Amino acid sequence: MSADGILIPHLTASPDRWQQFKMNKYQFSNLTINFQKLIFIFVLTLAHIMVLITVEFPIYLKIFSITLNAILAVFIVLLYNKNAFTFSFTENKIVQRFTYSSIVIEFDYTDLVSVKYNQFSKSPNVNIFVLAKYNKKYSVKTEALVDAEKYIGFIKWLKTKSTSFETYVYPKGSLLHMRLRQEILGKEF
């Protein structure tokens, strides 16, 4: 309550919520990857609408095509919202939280099958986590850690939780690949 008698809400998180964020050792998301796809689709849709406006077509075809583009754009935004998530590694488990829904999927560290790091020059670096649960494999694609030192630290930390998963770095022969082999396997290059 302020001096004027106006109730001012305080933006504080509950202790449980704060503890939840505090426990995340590493966290990844796919928001940038999905956003790039979304921008690409919208640019294509805009180009299609511009062609429809400038080319001579009957008006009913133009209205039908623009309506179809609008429905497609709404569908893509809904699909984007459905697939947006964060992927957290806590001390005891791996948690996938979908950003725009209340769905939370928890994995044990023993469910982790492989971790792949793709580092290519003309595309964003990505991590691909493959997990197996209930005899089904889940492949989760997220943004990668930018710094190689952080990635090597992350893999070493994961190896303390479970040693049964495989680690891949693409392209093979890159500096990160050689450093990771040296750190994990103890092999010099």
Mean pLDDT of the chain: 75
pLDDT of residue 130: 92
pLDDT of residue 24: 56
Peptide bond into 171 cis (omega under 30): yes
Q: Given pLDDT bands bounded at 50, 70 and 90, which one contains residue 31?
A: low
pLDDT of residue 177: 80
pLDDT one-digit tens code per residue, 109-165: 999 999 888 877 777 778 888 999 888 998 888 877 656 678 888 888 888 888 888
Q: Note the residue count of the chain.
A: 189
Residue 150 to residue 166: CA distance in whole angstroms = 18
pLDDT of residue 18: 35
Residue 120 to residue 97: CA distance in whole angstroms = 27
pLDDT one-digit tens code per residue, 155-178: 888 888 888 888 888 888 787 788
Residue 117 to residue 127: CA distance in whole angstroms = 5
Q: Is 44 a residue whose pLDDT tops 50?
A: yes
